[in-house]
Amino acid sequence: MELDGRQFPNTIKRHRKINGYSQKRLAKKLGVSITHISLWENGKLLPGLINVLKLCVIFQVSPFDLYYDLLYAVSEDLYVSERKETDNTTMYENI
């Protein structure tokens, strides 16, 4: 799932920098590759639940703090998709 430039990837990057971690150091602490960190921060890949929980411990934040932007973006997309579907259904009902 690509996040299309939304805030979630920036949230991980921001917390990483605030806590003084390089991508390499954070990757080592999490037991993942630097590529994973880069993909997360570029919105190309989402961390799994275990890694989210590890990030929360490292950054001393709640999962909600990390996922808020993602949840907001997904709910916004669902609303827009649902709205389009409803509009299309209404259009066909009027024919």
The domain that contains 63 carries what CATH number?
Answer: 1.10.260.40
Q: Decide: 50 and 19 in contact? Cβ < 8 Å.
A: no
pLDDT at 33: 98
Any idea what DSSP says for residue 74? H
Specify if 56 maps to a domain. yes
pLDDT at 68: 77
Residues 55, 12, 10: CA angle, nearest 5 degrees:
170
pLDDT at 63: 85
- Kindly state the percentage of the chain with pLDDT values over 70: 66
pLDDT at 64: 84
Specify if 74 maps to a domain. yes
Q: Can you give the residue range of the structural domain that contains 27?
A: 7-93
| pTM for this model (two decimals) | 0.67
